[in-house]
Structure 1
């Protein structure tokens, strides 16, 4: 074909030339990363240029995008020619960056296939935060929580009860031990008004022989300790029946001393425990024990005043067999320890126990300071207390709901 050959006429088609190269390989900085089919129809090109919208976005069906400007209406695209990569298919949006590798394309496809998260998505009905138990169950849990919060340990209460029970017994045994001593004998034999011995014992004789009898009650000697004692004429000082009764008294005394010692050990352990685990536990235990001691002493004292002889007889019947504790007036035990001695001994024991219990009661009296309460004339900060109680109630309700 020569240069003079007329050019064939082309249809009058308006082509929008925006200055962009028609092919990808004509761009100086572009790289042909993605290879499309050699030929594509305008419809396919338009479909590929239109981005798909998520199905769950709640919008109307997407409109078909306009054909790419590189494709001429009525003509098929040239081989290797596709939609312009630098422009978006929808008006008003910026250029979309094309993926540069296969991994990037797969990531882009996965991101485009994932539905957009809803702005106000409700949690599943099976979520633990949404499942609320019945009101009866909530009330039961709240009641158990309150009971557990207000419950007190059992061990401090047990040790406090032990202190209250052991305290009267220990005081009584200590008072008896104080009476069964040579010092009390000396006071009794030398006090004015104490009856003398009508059978010839002087005060010195009473003090010597009585000291043997009292010492026998607290030592570990056998019955011969008293059975071998004799008068100046060589006769036995104590009869066999008297020695046997003193052996019975010694057995009761040693058993009571051993029980009191065990109670003292347990009481010390209880005090050490209460000192660490219960504030004011020792005070409360001794306070209860002092009250119990005063009640017991007042009751026994009333019985002794109303009928001393009956009280003395019933006391001996509890600890000794019948017929083993009655003696004649000229027997040594009666001459050393007449009825007035036992009455004075009972008064001394009751007085010592009463004074010790009363002093303990005063020292352990539950005053407002000891109970941790403010003084009666102290101003009350009702506002702060109300705020704290309200905040505590709100926190408890929030915890119950959670």
Structure 2
């Protein structure tokens, strides 16, 4: 039913419908505003997550780290270097390395023989062998063996000179000061020679590295050449010794002991312990051992047909590997 408009000047009762209509419209507008805010707030996280999400399309791969790139480049360089090394037909310094191995054979063979003779066993055999000259000044075999063992030990150890100078025999000092001085020189020469031999052996081992695979037959040829060289040196020394032992003995001492303190009287302890016959026997024993070592090495490295065929087979395998790597 339509509502009549109030007369002019009349007061509007508190139950009038006009304020109710205005209030209804305000409530509707308020509810519409709240729903709009909720819709806007709900849409923000989705839009933000959409904006913050990175692009992971298949056409754009992730960038590779710098460290991985460097490692890959280094591995490629190592592989290339290994390939070039494997393809090389001739090892570096081949002539010098084989020459070093060949020269090491006579020196190491001789030093080995000398070291085997400088033992208590040889000393005992010399003092007890028939025909060895007795000491005309009173040393019996046991005293000779005792004092001779002290002298032998002194040239092979690192003891001071008092090791010999304090030894007594018959209530007196066994060795004179000049004798101790000479034995100290012998010790120095012996230790230097053994050290040089050990270093030469290590150098020969390093020189032979990779030769078996990269130069088949090179090591065997070097050892075979060295055994012949040893025999040649041995024969030359033997001829010189037979022609004149005294000149050879003198030349040896003048070479290694130029200070000239190696000459003694027949009554001195060193001569009584190590008479000239002792050095002749020692030289012969060293020559025999060196000869045996050389012959054994020569037989082990003799260029037989089977050894040549094995070297040729290894060379053919290497050539095939080089062909494959060079493709």
What runs of 5+ residues in structure 2 fail to find an aligned partner?
1-86, 312-327
User: Deviation at 1:328?
Assistant: 0.4
Structure 2 partner of 1:333: 270
Q: Quick one: structure 1 residues 308 and 369, their matched pair in 2 at CA, closer, same or farther if it must change by over 3 Å?
A: same
| Aligned-partner Cα distance in 2 for 1:189–1:359 | 30
User: Deviation at 1:276?
Assistant: 3.1
Q: Is the 8 A contact 1:227 1:236 kept in 2?
A: yes
Structure 2 partner of 1:217: 155
Of structures 1 and 2, the one with the larger relative CO (CA 8 A, separation 6+) is 2
| Aligned-partner Cα distance in 2 for 1:252–1:173 | 12
Structure 1 partner of 2:173: 236
Q: Is the 8 A contact 2:102 2:222 kept in 1?
A: yes
Q: Given the alignment of the two structures, is residue 370 of structure 1 paired with residue 292 of structure 2, yes or no? A: no
Root mean square deviation of aligned Cα? 1.9
User: Deviation at 1:364?
Assistant: 0.7
Structure 2 partner of 1:261: 198
Secondary structure of 2:187's counterpart equals helix
User: Deviation at 1:150?
Assistant: 12
The correspondence of residues 239-250 of structure 1 with structure 2, limited to 5 A, is 239-250=176-187
Counterpart selection for 2:244 from 257, 282, 307: 307
The correspondence of residues 103-252 of structure 1 with structure 2, limited to 5 A, is 152-233=90-171, 235-252=172-189
Q: Is the 8 A contact 1:159 1:274 kept in 2?
A: no
Q: Given the alignment of the two structures, is residue 284 of structure 1 paired with residue 221 of structure 2, yes or no? A: yes
User: Deviation at 1:153?
Assistant: 3.6
Structure 2 partner of 1:347: 284
Counterpart selection for 1:319 from 251, 256, 273: 256
Aligned residues: 225
Larger Rg: 1
TM-score (norm 1): 0.54
Structure having the higher helix fraction is 2
| Aligned-partner Cα distance in 2 for 1:261–1:273 | 21
Secondary structure of 2:208's counterpart equals helix
| Aligned-partner Cα distance in 2 for 1:290–1:157 | 18
User: Deviation at 1:313?
Assistant: 0.5
What runs of 5+ residues in structure 1 fail to find an aligned partner?
1-148, 375-402
Q: Quick one: structure 1 residues 278 and 150, their matched pair in 2 at CA, closer, same or farther if it must change by over 3 Å?
A: closer
Q: Is the 8 A contact 1:231 1:237 kept in 2?
A: yes
